[in-house]
Amino acid sequence: MQDKRKEIAFFDAHAAADDYNVFSEAANTSLIDSFMRLARPPAGGKVLDLGCGSGVFTDLLSRRGLDASGLDISPKLLELARKKYSALTFIEGDVEALPFPDASVDGILLSGLVHHLPDVSRCAAEVHRVLKPAGRFMAFDPNRANPFMFLYRDHSSPFYSPVGVTENERPVIASQVAGVFEAANFRTGTEYLSGLAYRYIASPSARLVLPLYNCIDNWLFRPRFMKRYSPFILTYGEKP
């Protein structure tokens, strides 16, 4: 069971320093490019950015001509989002009980959200409920098969660091995430993404080697046989 109070406290604390936009602008753009390709929202379509944080991806979706709204569990991050992107709509809410009508949206981006949920099934059911028929979603999450994600962020690793993450977070296994959404009656697929440069990481010691990590990530996972070990999993699906 996810301790939502701890999740809220963690992200509210990050809002005070405005430091939770961890990716470079190019990485953010790459993720939105992937969403546009895999979720294929119609021009002007209504899309939701779930786990929107300070609104970076919501804004980028809006810039692509979409009717984008953001939802997050952290009231402080939402305050920040509303200040930064005053023309957009941001809603406080829980992905396990979405405050939207049935079959009301064309596309959903799960912004680094799935790996925070010990049980993804309730979220998957809600995503299915609010999507229109033929609506699509995309989620991006850290890949447990990636050596860096496993060593640094998996609880079973001897090198695990809790700095900058909540106790609920863990890298995910691609087949397991896809399986949960399939059980929620989605037709699903999986892709892998590397080359997402970080601009910030919470641990000061890890921050020292961040340029080296970004460089390694940019070339190591380019070969086809290395794709499944990329740092990020893209899970996508369509509601029949």
**Residue 159 CB-density burial (10 A; 0-12 exposed, 13-18 middle, 19+ buried):** exposed
Question: Do residues 109 and 61 touch, judged by C-beta distance below 8 A?
Answer: yes
Tokens (6 digits) for 33: 């490019």
Q: What confidence tens digit (pLDDT) does each residue in 138-175 have?
A: 999 999 999 999 999 999 999 898 888 888 899 999 99
Strand partners, 105: 131
How is the chain split into domains, by residue range? 4-238
Query: What is the spatial distance between Cα 29 and Cα 48, in angstroms, rounded to a whole number?
Result: 17
DSSP sequence for 61-127: HHHTT-EEEEEES-HHHHHHHHHH-TTSEEEE-BTTB-SS-TT-EEEEEEES-GGG-S--HHHHHHH
Cβ-contact 177, 139 below 8 angstroms: yes
pLDDT per residue as tens, the chain (240 positions):
677 888 888 888 877 665 567 899 999 999 999 999 999 999 999 999 999 999 999 999 999 999 999 999 999 999 999 999 999 999 999 999 999 999 999 999 999 999 999 999 999 999 999 999 999 999 999 999 999 999 999 999 998 988 888 888 999 999 999 999 999 999 999 999 999 999 877 777 777 888 899 999 999 999 999 999 999 999 999 999
pTM to 2 decimals? 0.94
Provide the CATH number for the domain formed by 4-238 in this structure.
Answer: 3.40.50.150
> How high is the pLDDT of residue 18?
57
DSSP letter at 145?
T
